Amino acid sequence: MDAASDLPRALVAAEKTRVRKLALARRDGLDAVARADGSAAISAAVLELDLKPGCAVSAFLPILSEVDLGEAIAGLDGRGHPVGLPIMVESGLVFRRVRPGDDLLPLGFGTRGPGSAAPEIVPDVLLMPLTAFDRRGGRVGYGRGFYDRAVAALRAAGRFPRLIGIAFSVQEVAAVPMEPHDAPLDMIVTERDVFRFA
């Protein structure tokens, strides 16, 4: 592949970096009260979604200034949904079952989660962290591709989970640059809106 054919990919990568930086600066600028109130509203909205009874859900715990889904995790567990947290392993991501009150271990990159003794789940719904989103279902992550690879692996195994982005409204951008491997979201939940695309 020559340098000219790499140019569009380089431009897309540069634009992702730009929108990621812009949206993260706005998210980081939220004060503690706005972040807590927004997280509570997002958790409440997640608990109002039309999830199939007993379906397995992957969630996440906040790093840096992310949404805190603690109330949603407890509520989903209380309704009989197996909830898993994403764990980075050599092959990508696995999702290990978590219950309210479980002891969690530091797992790198600021994440915490259940240890290797916790059972793995295969999620029917992925509540996905993101750095930026648009109103067409575009998502920018942190640039490491863990969720892209996890979604691709699930689909290759015949599983097609609902992909739900979780973000504060300040993380919205006009347009997210998308590449062929980027899976568009089915839905985005913020403290103000629920956007549905599928």
17 known member of a binding site: yes
26 known member of a binding site: no
138 known member of a binding site: no
146 known member of a binding site: yes
Q: Cβ distance 174 to 165 under 8 Å? A: no
18 known member of a binding site: yes
144 known member of a binding site: yes
131 known member of a binding site: no
140 known member of a binding site: yes
147 known member of a binding site: yes
CA 172 to chain centre: 14
46 known member of a binding site: no
142 known member of a binding site: yes
Give dist(CA 15, CA 37) in Å, integer: 31
Give dist(CA 125, CA 186) in Å, integer: 10
- Give the three-class secondary structure for 46: helix
66 known member of a binding site: yes
19 known member of a binding site: yes
What dihedral angle (degrees, nearest 10) is formed by the CA atoms of 173, 179, 180, 183? -30
The annotation places the binding site at 16-20, 61, 66, 139-147
The annotation places the binding site for ATP at 16-20, 139-147
The annotation places the binding site for substrate at 61, 66
